[in-house]
A and B are shown apart, each in its own frame.
Chain A
């Protein structure tokens, strides 16, 4: 039995952990597992980063809050939080 790192990317609408999630990707520590754009039955695990914390996820990357260089343009979507959960039930 080995402990492995699960990764969860949550893109929130603001840098606040209470704000709404607008995009999500989960990476399981399983060989040949796939993380992809789903064309049916998307399971939205959490409505906010806060919800994920309550479920045991730990934030390992916070989005930076620096304003964009060109403040009249839009670039990437949302604010990226990366969370981990160490689990051992993959064998």
Chain B
């Protein structure tokens, strides 16, 4: 079990549900990031799923208490590391990928799989940062249907410090961007799965859940728009966020109001009007 101090709180869980990603910088020792970068740079071939055999130092990344705290918070205490993993080598002179979801999108609104993307080097704008469209983890859109999109007004770039990890919902739309620098950008992608035996009866909050804090911040699910889209999509998205929250809490009901209008102040009356 992970020490509670490393678990997320309710507000951070809401933010992950809304955005579909979060960025963590666990502050690994500088020499660890550098060693992993150098070992990746010395590879003659891409080892694919065998990357841990080639660079066993990566085990230190995923066994870090802060990292485990995030994964336990999102996936439950019995999460597992998936045998598929990949070293993404974004070489100088590359062009961007197209927007895609990894794998096939499944029609559910839970967090069944989390992508952990670890960057051993600082990633600046020109080094091919990972681009993400916030909130798209709710969208049932196979990657082929994303091929005609170019830039989104609300896309974000994963420009991060060395040693950072971006945790993403498995279904979120993302892509590597072009690397116009003279340095290879490495990103190690690992997948983590929720315990498949977990059911709504056995699930309970696996983070630092506090009912009063959860109530205090619940409005975030109802009011935060992270990516401009159709108004009707936003209404649906809000319902899907609540569905995801329910799947993570086992259906804990919070005594909250969904009335965004009650108590709103009216505009001041114009004193010149008769």
Contact = CB atoms under 8 A, between A and B. Distances in A.
A36 B153 contact: no
A35 B136 contact: no
B177 A38 contact: yes
B131 A37 contact: yes
Interface residues of B, number: 41
A53 interface: no
B225 to A, nearest CB: 11
A25 B131 CA distance: 16
Q: Is the interface of A mostly helix, strand, loop or mixed?
A: loop
Contacts of B95: 34, 36
A41 B66 CA distance: 35
Interface of B: 95-99, 107, 125-126, 128-129, 131, 133, 136, 138-141, 145-146, 148-155, 157, 175, 177-178, 227-231, 233, 236-237, 239-240
A77 B149 contact: yes
B140 A75 contact: yes
Contacts of B237: 74
Interface of A: 9, 11, 13-14, 20-26, 34-40, 42, 44, 71-80
A33 B136 CA distance: 28
A69 to B, nearest CB: 11
A9 B150 CA distance: 8
A2 B231 CA distance: 43
B150 A35 contact: yes
- The 9 A-B residue pairs with the shortest CB-CB distance, nearest first, are A25-B150, A36-B96, A37-B96, A39-B177, A23-B152, A75-B141, A22-B228, A40-B125, A39-B125
